[in-house]
């Protein structure tokens, strides 16, 4: 007889409690899964293995396409031609494709639902002047062309992952947003616009720019100034003092170099340019120098800024002169509290280790990731391959590691948004 089941209310409630316990204990290991376990589960999935195999088979097409995009120069704010070409490649896939008001090209690979939204960004613009004819050459396992690395290698990495995801018929829970941005090299207005508009809708923002073996989770602040000391000037043979404004300038520079610039938080100070009179036989009435001040801490920047201003005022006053400061550009350190311990950083670290890297993890990035962090979006920056001579006509990249870098990016995409069953 099985009526025992109904015979005792106390017993049945105990059974119910036991059942709950059983369910909880079965679920516990899932909740406690470490990022390394999660990444391993994705990496071991047969579909992901198929995607990796596809990347290996797709090598020649990847190299050809990488070169074709590189050969379309795209100076900042003149990215249209390159964007149209990338768009034509994206159109071969099932993606939601659009441009926003500033010219960012956005392609969303929709998930099945219930997963996070991960944005993967690569910038389209280059630092090279309009009209530059670019012809890539391949030699000794490297490809040489201005812009081939910064940031075309990462544009190609994104396109290659889209092809591999489709070839392996991979569906994801969350959406992957492929974001091809404008104007990273000059003012970062592309990423700034996108992150401001979408900050409530983005869970993770990965800027692919530079990098290969490691990644950064915060942006360094970079401030540029031109300080002038303004004096009366005069002929070399005019009454002295007053001196040339170069004298208080030189004294100020030597005192500024005595300032304590901390290594931790990572900070730098450089005076790279200076000027004075236009001719030899005149005292400068305007002696100037540039300051490039960087730190991962905005407090350090503010403090050094204050000390530099005080030195300038003192030296100018001693010489009976005045100070004028032009701020050439200011971009604050992008530090998001807790980002180092965020899910994104832990998953990114696990992905790098799973791919055989021992990743350096830094906090001094200087790219679109900062724009996201400043909007409060958890973000990192990394890249798909090792390159050299960025921003120079001799720029070049190693070819072979890019294929591994593409697999790394694909694994990161999937580890973040989750595989759908
Ligand atoms: Zn770049």
Q: What is the pLDDT of residue 221?
A: 96
What is the arithmetic mean of pLDDT over 208-212?
92
Q: What is the pLDDT of residue 107?
A: 98
Q: Calculate Rg over the CA atoms of the chain.
A: 28
Q: Which residues contact 306 (CB under 8 A, 6 or more apart)?
A: none
pLDDT band at 227 (very low <50, low <70, confident <90, very high): very high
Q: What is the pLDDT of residue 210?
A: 84
Q: How far is the CA of 409 from the centre of ligand 1 (A)?
A: 17
Q: How far is the CA of 210 from the centre of ligand 1 (A)?
A: 6
> Residue 273's closest CA among 226, 235, 318, 231?
226
Q: How many whole angstroms from its chain centre is CA 216?
A: 8
**Vertex 150, ends 146 and 155: CA angle to 5°?**
110
Q: What is the pLDDT of residue 321?
A: 98
The answer to whether 369 and 207 have CB atoms below 8 angstroms apart is: yes
Q: How far is the CA of 74 from the centre of ligand 1 (A)?
A: 12
Within a 13 Å sphere around the CA of 338, how many CA atoms are in the beta-carbon half?
5
Q: How far is the CA of 381 from the centre of ligand 1 (A)?
A: 11
Angle between helix axes 35-44 and 400-417 (nearest 10 degrees) is: 110
Q: How far is the CA of 191 from the centre of ligand 1 (A)?
A: 12
> Kind of pairing, strands 361-362 and 215-216?
parallel
Q: How many whole angstroms from its chain centre is CA 22?
A: 45
Q: How far is the CA of 32 from the centre of ligand 1 (A)?
A: 37
Q: How far is the CA of 149 from the centre of ligand 1 (A)?
A: 8
pLDDT score of 1 more than 60: no
pLDDT score of 27 more than 80: no
Q: How far is the CA of 234 from the centre of ligand 1 (A)?
A: 46
pLDDT score of 3 more than 70: no
What is the arithmetic mean of pLDDT over 73-101?
98
Q: How far is the CA of 246 from the centre of ligand 1 (A)?
A: 37
The secondary structure element, H or E, covering residue 314 is helix 298-318
Q: How far apart are the C-alpha atoms of 55 and 167, rounded to whole Å?
A: 10
SS3 content of the chain, % helix, strand, coil (to 5): 40, 20, 35
> Residue 414's closest CA among 326, 355, 337, 371?
355
Inter-CA distances, 192 with 81, 142, 223, 366, Å: 22, 33, 18, 13
Q: How far is the CA of 389 from the centre of ligand 1 (A)?
A: 12
Q: What is the pLDDT of residue 17?
A: 53
Percent of the chain topping pLDDT 90: 91
The answer to whether 106 and 126 have CB atoms below 8 angstroms apart is: no
pLDDT score of 307 more than 80: yes
Q: How far is the CA of 150 from the centre of ligand 1 (A)?
A: 5
pLDDT band at 4 (very low <50, low <70, confident <90, very high): very low
Q: How far is the CA of 386 from the centre of ligand 1 (A)?
A: 13
Q: What are phi and psi for residue 235, nearest 5 degrees? A: -75, 160
Q: How far is the CA of 255 from the centre of ligand 1 (A)?
A: 34
Q: What are phi and psi for residue 353, nearest 5 degrees? A: -65, -40
Q: How far is the CA of 371 from the centre of ligand 1 (A)?
A: 13
pLDDT band at 35 (very low <50, low <70, confident <90, very high): very high
21 three-state secondary structure: helix
Per-residue model confidence as pLDDT tens digits over 326-373:
999 999 999 999 999 999 999 999 999 999 999 999 999 999 999 999
> Kind of pairing, strands 274-275 and 286-295?
antiparallel
What's the whole-number average pLDDT of the chain? 93
Q: What is the pLDDT of residue 9?
A: 44
Phi-psi region of 418 (alpha: psi -120 to 50; beta: other; left: phi over 0): left
What is the arithmetic mean of pLDDT over 51-77?
98
Q: How far is the CA of 151 from the centre of ligand 1 (A)?
A: 5
Per the confidence metrics, is the pTM higher than 0.75? yes
Q: How far apart are the C-alpha atoms of 160 and 153, rounded to whole Å?
A: 10
DSSP codes, 147-176: TIIIIIIHHHHHHHHHHHHHHTT--BSS-E
pLDDT score of 211 more than 90: no
Q: How far is the CA of 298 from the centre of ligand 1 (A)?
A: 23
pLDDT score of 318 more than 90: yes
Q: What is the pLDDT of residue 31?
A: 56
pLDDT score of 19 more than 70: no
The answer to whether 247 and 318 have CB atoms below 8 angstroms apart is: no
pLDDT band at 421 (very low <50, low <70, confident <90, very high): confident
> Residue 244's closest CA among 269, 270, 217, 279?
279
Q: How far is the CA of 60 from the centre of ligand 1 (A)?
A: 24
- Strand ranges, E, within 16-175: 96-99, 105-109, 118-123, 137-139, 142-144
Q: How far apart are the C-alpha atoms of 364 and 84, rounded to whole Å?
A: 33
Q: How far is the CA of 232 from the centre of ligand 1 (A)?
A: 44
Q: What is the pLDDT of residue 60?
A: 98
Q: What are phi and psi for residue 186, nearest 5 degrees? A: -100, -65
């Amino acid at each position: 007889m099985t009526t025992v089941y109904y015979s005792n209310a106390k017993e049945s409630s105990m059974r119910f409690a036991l059942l709950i316990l059983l369910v909880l204990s079965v679920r516990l290991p899932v909740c406690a899964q470490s990022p390394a376990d999660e990444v391993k589960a994705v990496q071991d999935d047969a579909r992901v293995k198929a995607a990796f195999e596809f990347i290996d088979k797709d090598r020649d097409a990847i190299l050809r396409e990488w070169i074709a995009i590189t050969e379309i120069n795209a100076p900042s704010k003149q990215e249209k031609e390159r964007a149209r070409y990338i768009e034509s490649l994206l159109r071969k896939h099932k993606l939601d494709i659009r441009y926003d008001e500033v010219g960012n090209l956005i392609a969303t690979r929709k998930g099945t639902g219930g997963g996070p939204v991960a944005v993967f960004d690569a910038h389209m613009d280059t630092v090279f002047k309009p009209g530059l004819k670019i012809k890539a050459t391949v030699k000794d396992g490297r490809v040489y062309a201005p812009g081939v690395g910064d940031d075309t290698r990462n544009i190609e990495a994104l396109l290659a992952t889209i092809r591999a995801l489709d070839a392996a018929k991979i569906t994801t829970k969350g959406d992957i947003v492929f974001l091809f941005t404008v104007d990273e090299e000059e003012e970062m207005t592309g990423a700034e616009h996108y992150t401001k508009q979408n900050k409530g809708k983005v869970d993770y923002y990965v800027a692919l720019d530079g990098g290969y073996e490691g990644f950064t989770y915060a942006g360094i602040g970079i401030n540029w100034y031109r300080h002038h000391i303004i004096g009366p000037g005069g002929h070399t043979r005019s009454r002295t003092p007053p001196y040339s404004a170069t004298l208080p300038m030189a004294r100020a520079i030597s005192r500024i170099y005595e300032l304590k610039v901390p290594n931790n938080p990572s900070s730098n100070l450089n005076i790279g340019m200076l000027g004075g009179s236009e001719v030899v036989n005149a005292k400068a009435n305007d002696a100037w120098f540039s300051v490039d001040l960087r730190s991962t801490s905005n407090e350090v920047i503010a403090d050094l800024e204050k000390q530099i201003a005080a030195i300038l005022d003192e030296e100018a006053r001693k010489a009976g002169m005045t100070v004028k400061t032009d701020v050439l550009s200011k971009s604050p350190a992008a530090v998001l509290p807790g980002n180092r311990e965020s899910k994104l950083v832990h998953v990114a670290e696990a992905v790098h280790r799973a791919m055989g890297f021992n990743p350096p993890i830094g906090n001094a990035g200087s790219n679109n990731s900062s724009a996201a962090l400043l909007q409060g979006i958890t973000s990192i920056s990394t890249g798909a391959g090792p390159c050299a001579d960025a921003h120079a006509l001799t720029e070049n990249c190693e070819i072979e590691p890019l294929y591994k870098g593409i697999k790394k990016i694909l694994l990161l995409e999937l580890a973040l948004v989750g595989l759908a069953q």
